[in-house]
Structure 1
């Protein structure tokens, strides 16, 4: 059986109103040969149209990936988790030109696996108390979606509340590998991530749909090592050979192929220059003080991903902690920006759904995440603010289950500037927008849910540190040089609880040179091991 075909044949066979499942993470896994042909077919011929697209992770670099499908009429409904790197999708969603459902990234990966096993959906506590909860918004992220049913129900199992994520029958999926043989057995030797490709393929076959694989190598049947096969040929209907691999089958946004990203080589990590002492580094320095030897850590994008690793490296403690990325990478040095999701010198790369099994099973000691808005109850919004729709990504899965959550953010947004001098901080220019608000645009992190779990939660900014208590947000630290009333309370929409033991943030956070965290870090590690042995 010859399963090899071309993009035009595949696209011409797609029926209007079909449900298409895609698998990717930023630009990793993007099947550009297929996506480009689908885009061109719609723009030139007007079909296929009114598709439903379902994808687990953010899958774009602002111009490629699912961004190629962001046209009114091409897609009538999208079910995904994140569109931060897909600005055209953000516009379609905000303008109600597509029905948009935002569900947690980890739950979507688990939903694919549940559907593959013949189940009608997947149940989990993830999402309770957030905008995903059907008592709030049910994941319906725009008005067009709110006119229709939610993909989430509230159910009770053994007298406990759970959310039930409903099945989404799939007509076809397009996923990616590196090499396929004539029968469709697929390996992923050059791919940076395994993602949820196997689960999507199995789920598609469960509904009688077609599985299409884009690869860059095509070989004789029987020549692939059986243990290297990630997608068996019995799941595969069509094989699409990338027409221009350099542009249409890139390993990542930054690289056509780097063996370090796929785990084949380990490279010496160059000594990086210390970050300049600025507002972001101050936040990262205070955050690093929450680490401990052996901690299993998840880093979100933005200030956490940009500062926690470099500050840890500068302080000499990076090798004593374990960084993980939700995409499946464990260990090594995670990358950021449009290459978020991959890691240099990873110690292991596992499948996307299994990484979220570990996360939702409380495997993360500390997660560092950004914030857009915070209210007195400790609720956090990172998914929708003003006219901007970003989505939640894996934020809900991770923050609801990590043992400690550390939110890292500037105190205000929109041009906040500080002067750091003599181990003190001065607010030179206040940001245009307040982040600590009476009402937030959407609940992506539920303070009440966290309190019920007695979770430890901190909110770290350049001028103040807050702690979530049963009674609300408590101010526990203030930066040296900052005026409590002028620089903190007057810049908030609500008055926080002020700790009776309000402390000054450690002075070394605002000093040039190292903070000296390393010596104390390893001293504590030695003491702990001495007690054990």
Structure 2
């Protein structure tokens, strides 16, 4: 990017930070022929006490901000609506920093219970739950989206193998409840499957791009669809209220209608609706929409610049780069051409970056759990969207794809244990430490191959010395005897015949019948001093074999016969 591109992006971020609290609860479009159009303030008045509400969206994508603001304002004035049961799938919080998120509703008494797949960003709700003022529950994101679909068909539950042997499985003491005040049981064991249920929403809130004067809804120029369609079907089956927030009214185009007017009860026009974080829908960026001609590499650099500017993306060193390149080389050896791929947030994004930098992105089908199919997964605050997607689809359809067949998932981890189990959902013992599983259980269930990537220890320091990786300062072991919460069951994965690899800054491991086996190490890493002495998990190392050393000059090629992980004996 040149100087002027960077300046434009800096000004974009500054403008967003200065105006990100903008909202108008009384705004109404000047001319409409339908009584469906109401103000956000009046929309909030339609939600009754003790209602069950579902809000769509994920992270910065398709946020229901104007509804959050309106409900908060009404509650602070009148004490209503109160004792709500609230459900959402993807993360919708702002980590206590970003306004216009689900945290606007984090007031004592407004919610009675909160059920979501990813909860870490909803700091206000976590704090209420810690005090016992809110019942807190979690279910996998894919299960939530598919349950909505089942509810729309008149069913109240679904059975699935997703979550077997994890913290969700009652057979191993698991449950959906997170804190002590949460008493409802949404999961039961039925033979070799789990039976999932959840409350059926009476109110659906979602954000879309546009509406026409008749009240038809358009997802044109949207970055995601998430659970909007399925939440509508569930609520209509329950004879509830469906309300949409759109950026503006456009001329009717029958071919482009996404949701017909008869499926939506009320529409709020919110000129400040965002396409995705920081980007107004009325000034949408073509890079996030299907069928647009975009320079993907340039777009990815722009998004990375914004994330770096906001200090969203951690600073990565040369050893981190080695890890990403190693994971990318393993990825290339496993994933077939046109393979279906999911890449998670955080360190997995670095693997995607390596693939893009080596012109490999067009050989695979990248997807996100938000329903973006094709293109390149957007990093950081834009997570859930993709750059140059082929098309957008509901989350439930994407998760159905994952459950059926996913060639590769590249994911992070908090802890790994002797049995290959992985914890991604619980950072510590307090309720406020809770992360939630997100779509992780659904993704690892369907993935034929999984690469977990993360640091060997928490808060350790690694560096390069004379071309070798050196442990400069020890940290807290992340490979432990037993994880504090099982989000991924290693033995279940072995039973299903999955290939599971763990890439770290000491080398990489594979899950085998012997447990975690050290397959290769970085040059400079000593097995006894750097690995075994800093690990609570049991590591299997064949006695009759030397552990190969990874060549620091990893090469990438789409000629499968030439592609190599750069490993040599030593």
TM-score, normalised via structure 1 length: 0.89
- 3-state DSSP class of the match of 1:517? coil
Alignment of 1:7-406 (within 5 A): 7-62=40-95, 63=98, 64-135=100-171, 136-145=173-182, 148-156=183-191, 161-218=192-249, 223-242=251-270, 245-246=271-272, 249-256=273-280, 257-270=284-297, 278-292=318-332, 293-294=336-337, 295-305=339-349, 307-362=350-405, 364-386=406-428, 387=430, 388-406=433-451
In structure 2, relative to structure 1, the CA distance for the partners of 1:240 and 1:522 (3 Å cut) is farther
In 2, distance between residues paired with 1:137 and 1:111? 19
In the TM superposition, what whole-angstrom CA distance separates every residue of 1:448-504 from its partner, at most 9, and x where no partner exists? Answer: 211211211111101032211223222222221112121111111133211343423
- The two structures, once aligned, show a CA RMSD in angstroms of 2.1
Distance 1:93 1:460, change over 3 A: farther
CA contact (8 A) 2:501 2:508 kept: yes
Query: 2:269 and 2:402 mapped to 1: Cα distance?
Result: 35
CA contact under 8 A between 1:54 and 1:80: conserved in structure 2? yes
Distance in 2, Cα, partners of 1:462 & 1:14? 51
Given candidates 537, 552, 556, the residue that maps to 1:517 is: 556
**Mean Cα displacement is larger for which, 207-216 or 43-52?**
43-52
Contact 2:219-2:258 within 8 A present in 1 as well: yes
**Contact 1:190–1:259, Cα closer than 8 Å, also in 2:** yes
Alignment match of 1:473 (pick from 501, 506, 516): 516
Q: Distance in 2 between matches of 1:502 and 1:465?
A: 14
Judged with a 3 Å threshold, the aligned counterparts in structure 2 of structure 1 residues 279 and 43 are, in CA distance, closer, same or farther, namely farther
Alignment partner, residue 531 of structure 1: none
Q: CA deviation at 1:277?
A: 5.3
How far residue 164 of structure 1 moved from its aligned partner, in angstroms, is: 1.4
Corresponding position of 1:417: 461
Report the alpha carbon displacement of residue 192 of structure 1 after superposing the two structures with TM. 0.9
Equivalent residue number for residue 529 of structure 1: none
Q: Distance in 2 between matches of 1:225 and 1:198?
A: 19
In the TM superposition, what is the alpha-carbon distance from 1:347 to its structure 2 partner? Answer: 1.9
Q: C-alpha distance in 2, partners of 1:345/1:122?
A: 34
Offset of 1:524 from its aligned partner?
6.4
**Does the 8 Å contact 1:476/1:502 carry over to 2?**
no
Q: Distance in 2 between matches of 1:165 and 1:89?
A: 23
Alpha-carbon displacement from aligned partner over 1:45-66 (angstroms, at most 9, x marks no partner): 3221111101111123432321
Q: Identify the residue that residue 530 of structure 1 maps to in structure 2.
A: none
Q: Distance in 1 between matches of 2:64 and 2:328?
A: 38
Q: How many residues align?
A: 503
Decide which moves more: 285-294 or 194-203: 285-294
1:253/1:93 Cα in 2 relative to 1: closer, same or farther (>3 Å)? Answer: same
CA distance in 1, matches of 2:175, 2:102: 23
- Cα distance change of structure 1 residues 209 and 280 upon mapping to structure 2, 3 Å threshold: same
The whole-number CA distance in structure 1 between the counterparts of 2:549 and 2:78 is: 62
2:267 is paired with a residue whose SS is strand
Note closer, same or farther for the CA distance 1:427–1:357 as it changes in structure 2 (3 Å cut).
same
CA distance in structure 2 between the aligned counterparts of 1:473 and 1:95, rounded to whole angstroms: 39
Secondary structure of the structure 1 residue equivalent to 2:91: coil
Which blocks of at least 5 consecutive residues in structure 2 are unaligned? 1-33, 305-314, 565-570
SS in 2 for 1:212: strand
Query: How much has 1:79 moved relative to structure 2?
Result: 0.9
* Residue 516 to residue 477, structure 1, CA distance change in 2 (3 Å): closer
Q: Distance in 2 between matches of 1:182 and 1:347?
A: 29
Structure 1 residues 149, 465: CA separation in 2 closer, same or farther (over 3 Å shift)? same
Go from structure 1 to structure 2 and tell me whether the alpha carbon gap of 1:502 and 1:465 turns closer, same or farther (over 3 Å shift). Answer: farther
Structure 1 residue runs of 5 or longer lacking an equivalent are 526-533
> How far, CA to CA, are the matches of 2:386 and 2:322 in structure 1?
25
In 1, distance between residues paired with 2:527 and 2:86? 49
SS at match of 1:366: strand
